[in-house]
Amino acid sequence: MVQVTIIRLIGYREWTESLGPDREHIIQRVQAQLHRELVEAFSKLNAWAHPLRYDYLLAITNGLGNDELTRIIKGLADYSPVPLSSGTYADVNPRVAEKEAFRLAIKAGPGVSLMGDFDDGPVAIAHIDLIDSTSSTEWTSSYQLYEHVWSVVNQVRLHLAQYGGITLYLGGDNIVSIIQPTINEDDLKPLANLVNSRIGIGIASSGRAAMKLATEALDMLRSRNNHGVLMLRED
| Average pLDDT estimate for 98-103 | 97
As beta bridge partners, residue 127 has: 176, 200
Strands 2-9 and 56-60 turn out to be antiparallel
- What are the DSSP calls for the chain, one per residue? -EEEEEEEETTHHHHHHTT-SS-HHHHHHHHHHHHHHHHHHHHTTT-EEEESSSSEEEEE-TT--HHHHHHHHHHHGGG-SS-EEEEEEEESSHHHHHHHHHHHHHHS-TT-EEE-S---S-EEEEEEEETTTTGGGGTS-HHHHHHHHHHHHHHHHHHHGGGT-EEEEEETTEEEEEE-TT--HHHHHHHHHHTTEEEEEEEESSHHHHHHHHHHHHHHHHHTT--EEEEEE--
What is the pLDDT, as a whole number, of residue 136? 57
Query: What domains can you pick out in the chain, each with its CATH number?
Result: 2-115 (3.30.70.1230), 123-233 (3.30.70.270)
As beta bridge partners, residue 51 has: 57
What is the pLDDT, as a whole number, of residue 118? 77
Residue 137 has pLDDT above 70, yes or no: no
- Please say whether the beta carbons of 177 and 166 come within 8 A: yes
Residue 135 has pLDDT above 70, yes or no: no
| Average pLDDT estimate for 125-129 | 96
CA dihedral of residues 205, 208, 210, 212 (deg, nearest 10): -140
| Average pLDDT estimate for 138-152 | 83
Question: If we measure between CA atoms, which residue out of 148, 151, 174, 153 comes closest to residue 165?
Answer: 153
What is the pLDDT, as a whole number, of residue 134? 62
Question: If we measure between CA atoms, which residue out of 84, 60, 93, 114 comes closest to residue 165?
Answer: 93
As beta bridge partners, residue 166 has: 178
Q: How many residues does the chain have?
A: 235
The torsion region of residue 3 among left (phi > 0), alpha (psi -120 to 50) and beta comes to beta
Residue 167 has pLDDT above 80, yes or no: yes
Distance CA 42, CA 193 (A): 33
pLDDT in tens, 69-99: 999 999 999 999 999 999 999 999 999 999 9
